C-alpha cells in the first residue's frame, strides 16, 4: 500500500508545473470612425465600460512566461515598453511590479495584483483625440 502512495507522489512531482504567462497589449481608444479590432474581443466590453470609447485597435502585444525574481521586458512597438517583475503569487492571484515606458519616459510604476485570467487596464497618454491604453493579463 505504501508503494502506491510513493508511486503516486513521484508521478505528481514528475508532472511539469504550469508556468503563468503575462501578456501586455497596447491599445488605441478612439471615437472616430473605424472598425473595432477583433483581436480585442475578449476585452471589448470591459474597455467600453471603463473608458467609454466606441472603437479600440490593438497596436502591439507581447507575452512571456513569468519567472520569479526576473524582470521581464515586453516590447509593444510604437516606442512603448513594459517591464514586469513578479513579486508573489498564490493559486488565483499574481502580484507584479509594473513599469510602463514611452521611450525613456516613465508613464506608470506600480505594484499591482491581477487575478488569474483577469485584466488590468491602464489609461495612458492622449494622442490627438484618442487615448493609448495598456492591458495586462496573467494566464496559466
Do the domain assignments include residue 13?
Answer: no
Largest CA-CA distance found in the chain, in angstroms, rounded:
71
Do the domain assignments include residue 71?
Answer: yes
**CA-CA distance, 140 to 82, in Å (whole number)?**
20
**CA-CA distance, 79 to 95, in Å (whole number)?**
26
Give percent of the chain above pLDDT 70: 87
Do the domain assignments include residue 88?
Answer: yes
Do the domain assignments include residue 7?
Answer: no
pLDDT at 7: 38
DSSP code for 3: H
Do the domain assignments include residue 131?
Answer: yes
Give the residue among 100, 66, 95 at the shortest CA–CA distance from 82. 100
**CA-CA distance, 93 to 68, in Å (whole number)?**
14
**CA-CA distance, 129 to 34, in Å (whole number)?**
14
| Beta pairing partners, 94 | 89, 114
Do the domain assignments include residue 4?
Answer: no
Q: Which domain holds residue 64?
A: 18-139
Cell numbers for 17: 508545473
User: What does the pLDDT profile of the chain (140 residues) look like in tens digits?
Assistant: 444 444 343 433 333 345 789 999 999 999 987 777 889 999 999 999 999 999 999 999 999 999 888 999 999 999 999 999 999 878 788 999 999 999 999 999 999 999 988 899 999 999 999 999 999 999 87
Do the domain assignments include residue 1?
Answer: no
Do the domain assignments include residue 10?
Answer: no
Is-contact 19 66, C-beta < 8 A?
yes
Domains held by the chain: number:
1
Is-contact 137 117, C-beta < 8 A?
yes
Amino acid at each position: 500500500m505504501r508503494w502506491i502512495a510513493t508511486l503516486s507522489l513521484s508521478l505528481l512531482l514528475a508532472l511539469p508545473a504550469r508556468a503563468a504567462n503575462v501578456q501586455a497589449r497596447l491599445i488605441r481608444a478612439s471615437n472616430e470612425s473605424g472598425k473595432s479590432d477583433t483581436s480585442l474581443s475578449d476585452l471589448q466590453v470591459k474597455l467600453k465600460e471603463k473608458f467609454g470609447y466606441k472603437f479600440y485597435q490593438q497596436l502591439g502585444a507581447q507575452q512571456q512566461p513569468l519567472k520569479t525574481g526576473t524582470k521581464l521586458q515586453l516590447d509593444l512597438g510604437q516606442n512603448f515598453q513594459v517591464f514586469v517583475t513578479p513579486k508573489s503569487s498564490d493559486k488565483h492571484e499574481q502580484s507584479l511590479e509594473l513599469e510602463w515606458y514611452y521611450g525613456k519616459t516613465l508613464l506608470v510604476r506600480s505594484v499591482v495584483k491581477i487575478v488569474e485570467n483577469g485584466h488590468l487596464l491602464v489609461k495612458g497618454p492622449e494622442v490627438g483625440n484618442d487615448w493609448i491604453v495598456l492591458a495586462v493579463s496573467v494566464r496559466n
